[in-house]
Structure 1
Amino acid sequence: MKFNSEEESYNAYNSYALAKGFGIRKSAKTYNINKEVTRRLFLCSCEGKSGKLFLFQERKRQILEYRCGCMARIKFKISNGIWEVCEFYDVHSHPMIEYNLKHFIQSDRKLTSATKSILGFMVDAGIRTKKVVRYLHNEDGEIENAGFIEQDAHNFIQAHKRNMISSGDAQTVINHFMHLQSEDSNFF
């Protein structure tokens, strides 16, 4: 199989993976002396094991470890801008994800720019994230069709709020007051 770009090859393998019931992630790149990518590897999301460092540490919050050493992978060779499959291994060491749970697969969860803008506007208007997510899921018909889960929305909102106060809490308040003063000369 041949593709014209990394995105096209990733999307094709991701579609295949979702149909079979597993997620994927990007892995190693190999470069030539001109610093051009010559090989690219995509793996099953269950590939590898967690680091030994974390096995013996106490954690505040327990995280489910889903990596089990799965060896499923696809490797692409890139020459003259054409992405060609040079290695494909499709044997998994874990059960596949059931159809009704496929919307939890990380490689298929994406917030579109339209969804991000709706989330941002509605949260800025004072609507709670949970209600905005419920509205967006109802608009798409089902949670499975939305392309994201509630945690993705919460993560986006937290990043959005951090960006708003990136210059610092005090500076953000001063900027807000200066804006109010420019609109109303009697303010402050």
Structure 2
Amino acid sequence: MTKRSDRTNGIIEATVQLLKEEGSEGLTLRKVAGRCGITLSNLQYYYPGKTALLQATADHFFRTCEEQILAERAEALNGDPASSHVFLKRLLTLLIVCELDEFYNAVFRELWALAIRDAALGAALRTYYRRYAAWMVDMIAELFPQADAIVSLLIPYAEGYALVGESMPLDREEVVSLWYQLITALPDNPL
């Protein structure tokens, strides 16, 4: 890694820590700079404002999600036709049971809270979700012809489940099983 990427990674990690500990109302550029042991002007060299910093944090979140999903895909797919179903179960488990990382889910909720008052951040998050959904469709389309339908239902469900899942009558593993049954029962050519 370069010195610049080490510094930006440290800044993102400090931002994530502050969002987790203090929520969106406690996040300031000055606090992030303090956590990193750099001056405010040095932080602003990398991220000119809070919105740019939060956009970089959201981008980091999506890259982390993609890396974890790709690792599961690489491990599950082995050329056997049944391996697509193994990958589907791992993907569902990753999105619903593991929630990718509860730490990042808490932080991402804070980002959405800030996006309500920050139009540029809100637009960036919607752009990230469009990119994430398109990426996921491309990744599973060769395995499941109804990829558009799966992704259109699964991403919003997983995001909402991260908020309310603990309150639902079925446990997470039962929800994964239900989703698996629903997806594998979809016709190859949806409406």
Q: Same fold (TM over 0.5)?
A: no
Structure with a larger share of its residues in strand: 1
Structure number with the bigger relative contact order (C-alpha 8 A, sep ≥ 6) is 2
Tell me the TM-score normalized by structure 2.
Answer: 0.28
Tell me the TM-score normalized by structure 1.
Answer: 0.28
Q: In terms of Rg, which structure is larger?
A: 1
Structure with a larger share of its residues in helix: 2
